Structure 1
Amino acid sequence: MSDKKEIVRTFEDLKVWQIAHKISIDIFELTNRFPPDEKYLLKDQMIRSSRSISDNIAEGYGRFHYQENTQYCRQSRGSAYELINQLITAFDCKYINEEELSNKKLLVSECVKLLNGYIRYLQKAKNDNTIREDEIFYNPKVDKETE
C-alpha cells in the first residue's frame, strides 16, 4: 500500500463513493432477477437504499461546511445498514443465495468502514479549520457607484 495521498477533485475521486456506486450497480443487477411482484416492494427498497449511499456521499461533498458533509455521510451509513437488512430479507425470501448475501454484505461493510474513516477525517478537518475555501480578500467597503 502506498503512502502517497491521492488528490480528490470531485466526489467521484473518493474511494468511499466508488465503492458505494459499485454497490448500487450490483444491487440493480441483483434485483433484476427478483419476481415481478417484488418490483415495487423489496426490489424498489433495495435499489433506493443502495443509491442513497452514494447519493448522500455526493451531496455531502457538495456542501460547504464539514459538519453538513458529516451529516450526509451519517445518512449514507444508515442507508448502508438498511441495505444489509434488505439483503437478509432477500435471502430469507430465497431471492438470493448465501454466497450472494455474504459477498454483498462484505462489500457494504467495506463501504461502512470507509465511511467511518471519511467521517473521522471530516471531523478532524472541522477541528483544524472550519472553512473550506482559499483565502480571499473581502473588501468591507461598498462602492456606492455600483449599488
Structure 2
Amino acid sequence: MKSYQDLDVWKKSRKLVSEIYQVTSSFPDNEKFGLVSQMRRASVSIPSNLAEGHGRRYNKEKVRFILISRGSIYELETQLYLSYDLGFIEEGRMNEVLELSKDVKMMMGGLIKFLEKQD
C-alpha cells in the first residue's frame, strides 16, 4: 500500500461522511449542536483515523487506529437509530446509511486481518 488514499476502505468511509452530512442537513435547527454535530464528528473521525493509522510505522499501531475508526462507526450507527427514533430520518434512509457503514466495517475487518498476518 502506497498511500492511505489507495485504501478502498478510506474511499468508502469518505462516502459515508458525505451521506451523513446530507442526512443531517435536514435535521431541526435546534439539533445543530446536538445530534448533527455528534454525527458529523463521528463520521469524520472514521477516514481521519484510517489515514492517521496508515501513517504509523508498526502494524500493531495501524490496527489500533482502525479499531478507533470502527468504534466511531458504532457510535454513528447508534446516533442514526436515535435520529430515527426522534423522527429526524426515515427508516429507509437510515437503512441505506447503515448498509454503507456495515460495508465499511467489513472492509476494516479485512484490513485488520491483512495487517495482523504481516506481523
- TM-score normalised by length of structure 1: 0.79
Among 73, 89, 104, which residue is 2:66 paired with?
A: 73
Counterpart residue type for residue 47 of structure 2: S
Among 26, 34, 37, which residue is 1:33 paired with?
A: 26
Equivalent residue, structure 1, for 2:90: 97
Task: Please list the CA deviations of residues 33-87 of structure 1 after superposition, one character each: whole Å capped at 9, or x if unmatched.
Answer: 1111000100000001111111110000011111100000000011011110000
Per-residue deviation, 1:30: 1.1
Per-residue deviation, 1:9: 2.1
How far apart in 2 are the matches of 1:28 and 1:107?
A: 14
Equivalent residue, structure 1, for 2:35: 42
Among 106, 114, 137, which residue is 2:107 paired with?
A: 114
Structure with more contact order per residue of length (Cα contacts < 8 Å, sep ≥ 6): 2
Structure 2: where are the runs of 5+ without partners? none
Larger Rg: 1
Counterpart residue type for residue 123 of structure 1: E
Equivalent residue, structure 2, for 1:61: 54
Per-residue deviation, 1:98: 0.7
- TM-score normalised by length of structure 2: 0.97
Runs of 4+ in structure 1 over 6 Å off? none
How far apart in 2 are the matches of 1:28 and 1:85?
A: 16
Alignment of 1:8-23 (within 5 A): 8-23=1-16
How far apart in 1 are the matches of 2:85 and 2:16?
A: 20
Task: Please list the CA deviations of residues 125-144 of structure 1 after superposition, one character each: whole Å capped at 9, or x if unmatched.
Answer: 12xxxxxxxxxxxxxxxxxx
Residues paired across the two proteins, number: 119
Please, what is the CA RMSD of the aligned residues?
0.7
Counterpart residue type for residue 13 of structure 1: D
Structure 1: where are the runs of 5+ without partners? 1-7, 127-147
Q: Structure 1 or 2: larger helix share?
A: 2
SS of the equivalent of 1:49 reads helix
